[in-house]
A = this chain, B = another copy of it.
Amino acid sequence: MTDRASCLVSKLGHYISLSEDDRQRLSTLEKSERSYGAGTDIYQMDDPCTDLFVVKQGWLFSYNDLPDGSRQIVKLHLPGDIIGFPDVSQKHVTSTLCAAEDVVLCPFPKTALDVILRDSPRLSALILSIALRDQIILLDLLRALGSMTARARISYMLLDLLARLKITNKGMSDVLRLPLNQSQIAAYVGLTNVYVSKTLSRMEKDGDIARTGNTVHLLRPEAMEEATDFRDRYSDMDIGWFPANKV
């Protein structure tokens, strides 16, 4: 992936081989890239939904504030991710997007999707598949939040992040940079910052993880996967049924 390459092309080309036509189609979609500083809210809940974003650099998250003052982070966005897909089905976006650190995004208009659907069945299938896989992952997270202990939830989050990073970075070890503070982790897994701190300390004392700065080292990933019934949904998408493009 050169720096000049289209974010979309390199992201989607990761799953299937793209025809030259498809590459062209995708490249033209992207507007110029944009940078945002850490902590910036890039769009707010209930804003009109016009653009999608590919993450070129940095982590972000989508959150909602609830009436009782608590905050729930519903999705973490890592480099290579497409942000805002579910909102395409709605007139207004359903959550607020916030940069967890300094980020670079490649926006492209929501209306671009109709061109793809009209002209490229193969790309359409891929996009649909990605959307559906994201839904699977959400279901997994739901199980975690619905019925796991604090420790299992945090383990689950760490395993999920590691699996995601390994898609684009094959030779990766079990070390993880985690550019989120404990309040944000808490908002994601449905706990409080205090209890996240206590749980992480306990996990460290028990030898499950090691921490240095904001990097986390998973010392027994297999045991953690066992305990949380973790499954890697990222590595085995089914793309066998995709249609060929028309000629």
Contacts and interface: CB of A to CB of B under 8 A. Distances in A.
Contacts of A64: 143, 229
Interface in A71-86: 71-72, 74-75, 85-86
Contacts of A242: 114
Interface in A213-247: 226-229, 231, 233, 236-238, 241-243, 246
Interface stretch (A2-10, A19-27, A126-134, A162-170): A126-134
B117 A121 contact: yes
B148 A145 contact: no
Given A139-B94, A142-B72, A145-B146, A117 B124 contact: yes
Given A117-B124, A241-B111, A139 B86 contact: yes
Given A125-B114, A125-B117, A128-B117, A143 B66 contact: yes
B147 A72 contact: yes
A234 to B, nearest CB: 11
A49 interface: yes
Contacts of A226: 67
A221 to B, nearest CB: 16
Nearest to A117: B121
A149 to B, nearest CB: 9
28 contacts: A66-B147, A66-B148, A66-B229, A67-B228, A71-B147, A72-B146, A85-B132, A87-B132, A87-B136, A88-B128, A88-B129, A88-B238, A89-B132, A89-B237, A90-B236, A94-B231, A95-B139, A110-B241, A117-B121, A117-B128, A117-B243, A131-B131, A131-B135, A135-B138, A138-B138, A138-B139, A138-B142, A145-B146
